[in-house]
A and B are shown apart, each in its own frame.
Chain A
Amino acid sequence: MDMGPHATFIWTAYGLSATVVSALILRAMLDERRQRRALARLEAQGIRRRSDVAQERRG
């Protein structure tokens, strides 16, 4: 693929965009996983949210 005399500018623009977008995707996936693990750890310790307790009481 010949991008002509300005190939460096074109590939740099696409390269930087791919890097930042990949970082955004990775951050989104890892953050949710991290919070899920923290939540599971707390639940395993028997700690529950007041809304969950109230919901159980309502049946």
Chain B
Amino acid sequence: MLSFATLANPSFFMRLTDRVLPWLAGVWILLLAAGLYMSFFVAPADYQQGETVRIMFIHVPFAWLAMFCYMIIAVSSIGSLIWRHPLADVSAKAAAPIGAAFTLLALVTGSLWGKPMWGAYWVWDARLTSVLVLFFLYLGLIALWESIEDPSRAGRAAAILAIVGVVNIPIIKFSVDWWNTLHQPASVMRAGGPTIHPTILWPLLVMAVAFSLMFLWLHLKAMRAEILRRRVETMMMTRVSSAVALKAAE
């Protein structure tokens, strides 16, 4: 049985992901191909939205992952602040740019759906505005990591911002229930089951699983690069301190 300490070890993480990542890539590529086929050739045009319903097959997974990624950062930040877990800090830092990209795509694809359906690319309704705030939170996290030179100070500052910002996640989720928004209420994850016809629901679910596995792959790859970057930085510091010690001895 693997202990928590073994799993938390960066070297073990590198060995494990080395084996897992190629399989994970194979699965998400196959699922994405199947999802795209279903989105364009199996799903019918919606009786109200027409062909623009096809934008939903990418917009909805991006929006779900934008929130899911932020939750990963928040949980990792707790792990980093409380247990000083080295992989937790790496996980939070590696996830932020991916989350920012998915949030941007959720906003842009939603906007491209909104113009033909609502007659406007953007409206300041609660759902859209709270997702825009999420995008700015991601940018804030990236800025903190990039602007503070000491990685441990940067990690702590970013972790605090991430934990404070998590209040925005329930606001995004329930904005369509709490306020009178132009954005439609939940139609998949709701009490009483989905309200979408199976011919449209299935392609959406396949795309959601494909993008979720792609996100996991991207996150693990980014974590590996971050671990290697930290090793490089440590070795550079060792080189500098050895050079200083050598000079002092002369």
Count CB-based A-B contacts (< 8 Å): 101
Counting CB contacts under 8 A, is B236 at the interface?
yes
Counting CB contacts under 8 A, is A16 at the interface?
yes
The CA of A47 and the CA of B62, in the complex, are separated in Å by 43
Q: Which of A26-51 contact B (CB under 8 A)?
A: 27-29, 31-32, 34-36, 38-39, 42-43, 45, 47-50
The CA of A5 and the CA of B40, in the complex, are separated in Å by 16
Given known pairs A13-B55, A17-B109, the reply for A49 and B231 (CB within 8 Å) is yes
**Do the beta carbons of A13 and B229 come within 8 Å of each other?**
no
Query: What are the interface flags for B32-46 relative to A under an 8 Å C-beta threshold, 1 for contact and 0 otherwise?
Result: 000000001000010
Given known pairs A1-B40, A16-B108, the reply for A9 and B52 (CB within 8 Å) is yes
Across-interface contacts of A13 in B (CB, < 8 A): 55, 58-59, 108-109, 112-113
Q: Which of A6-20 contact B (CB under 8 A)?
A: 6-7, 9-10, 12-14, 16-17, 20
**Do the beta carbons of B235 and A28 come within 8 Å of each other?**
no
Instruction: Tally chain A residues at the interface, Cβ within 8 Å.
Output: 36
**Do the beta carbons of B221 and A28 come within 8 Å of each other?**
yes
Across-interface contacts of B108 in A (CB, < 8 A): 13, 16
A: residues with CB less than 8 A from B are 1-7, 9-10, 12-14, 16-17, 20-21, 23-25, 27-29, 31-32, 34-36, 38-39, 42-43, 45, 47-50
